[in-house]
Amino acid sequence: MTNEILVKAVDVCKSFGTFQALQEVSLEVRKGEVNCIIGPSGSGKSTFLRCINLLERIDSGAIWANGELIGYRRDGNKLYEMSDAEIARQRRGIGMVFQRFNLFPHKTALENVIEGPVQVLGENPKTAREHALVLLNRVGLADKAGSYPAELSGGQQQRVAIARALGMRPSLILFDEPTSALDPELVAEVLDVMNDLAASGMTMIVVTHEMGFARNVSNTVAFMDGGRLIEHGPSARVLTQPENPRTVDFLKAVQR
């Protein structure tokens, strides 16, 4: 982990109708850091993650990623909403792995991985293919390159999804509850891939219920509740000596 800040959120607010999903959330993530966001369902964890790559538009506050203000161009004292193409360009450097995998069902594992590099980055299909095979090998699925998602188990699909995110050579990957939709016996294979990724120095923000992963792999843990960031710090400290009573209650409940 370096001192270079890769993601910075300041006073992020977001509401859906009258429901306040995020209230003044501020967070910093450094390059190479693995940050886990934990908290009860409905606490705004996923919403915050989705704001970072503009799947949700924030109501107020600001988010920087990869050194750029996300979603807006500043001109004098005003922020102008970016165009579809500019937002698409910003998203290239931010990978995302979804709870329900969201692989493209009409494309094979290999085609899923090369789609972005070829169509968006304009890579030569042959080089993209070679790189994709390296990535599929890295997630242990070199032999499934020609399989369609429907022919793969949940764990295998999620590993392809990680390879797809890596295909764009992102500087940051967002994980939105990557193991929540998996059968219990398939969780480990996905967590193993994420461990390797963390060890390789990838910056990761992980919304998760896997306390083992938070404890053993992540550098920092952020606890969210009711749309607010309640506590944030080194994982060992937050998980073993939480300061806020709400964090204490939550950790007690999940460790029971």
Partner 1 sequence: MTDTTLPQSSRDAHDIAHLEIVPRKHVGRMIFAAIVVLMVALLIRAFVVGQIEWPVVGQFLFAPAIIQGIWNTLLMTVAAMSLGIALGVLIAIMRISGNPVLEYIALVYVWIFRGAPALLQLLLWFNLALIFPTIGIPGLFEFSTVEVMTPFVAAMLGLGIQQGAYTSEVVRSGLLSVDVGQYEAARTIGMTGMQTLRRIVLPQAMRVMVPPVGNEVISMVKLTSLASVIQYSEILHNAQVIYYANTRVLELLMVASFWYLAIVTVLSLVQSRIERYYARGTRGRTTI
User: Which residues contact partner 1 (rule: CB under 8 A)?
Assistant: 53-55, 84-85, 88-89, 91-92, 94-96, 98, 100, 102-108, 115-116, 119-121, 148-150, 164-165, 167-168
Longest dimension (CA), the chain: 55
86 vs 183 by CB, closer to partner 1? 86
Strands 34-38 and 220-225: parallel
Least distance between partner 1 and beta carbon 57 (Å):
13
139 vs 165 by CB, closer to partner 1? 165
59 vs 151 by CB, closer to partner 1? 151
Least distance between partner 1 and beta carbon 150 (Å):
5
48 vs 250 by CB, closer to partner 1? 48
Least distance between partner 1 and beta carbon 88 (Å):
5
Least distance between partner 1 and beta carbon 219 (Å):
24
Angle at 71 between CA 65 and CA 75, to 5 degrees: 105
Least distance between partner 1 and beta carbon 42 (Å):
19
Least distance between partner 1 and beta carbon 49 (Å):
11
What is the distance between the alpha carbons of residues 89 and 85, in angstroms, rounded to a whole number?
6
Least distance between partner 1 and beta carbon 91 (Å):
5
- Answer positive or negative: Cα dihedral of 157, 159, 165, 169: negative
Residue 243: exposure state from Cβ atoms within 10 A (0-12, 13-18, ≥19): exposed
74 vs 100 by CB, closer to partner 1? 100
| Inter-residue contact 215 to 238 (CB < 8 Å) | no
What is the distance between the alpha carbons of residues 39 and 50, in angstroms, rounded to a whole number?
16
Grouping H, G, I as helix, E, B as strand and the rest as coil, residue 81 is: strand
Q: Is 36 left (phi over 0), alpha (psi -120 to 50) or beta?
A: beta
55 vs 62 by CB, closer to partner 1? 55
How crowded is the C-beta side of 50, counted as CA atoms within 13 Å? 14
Residues 6+ apart with CB under 8 A from 4: 30, 31
120 vs 251 by CB, closer to partner 1? 120
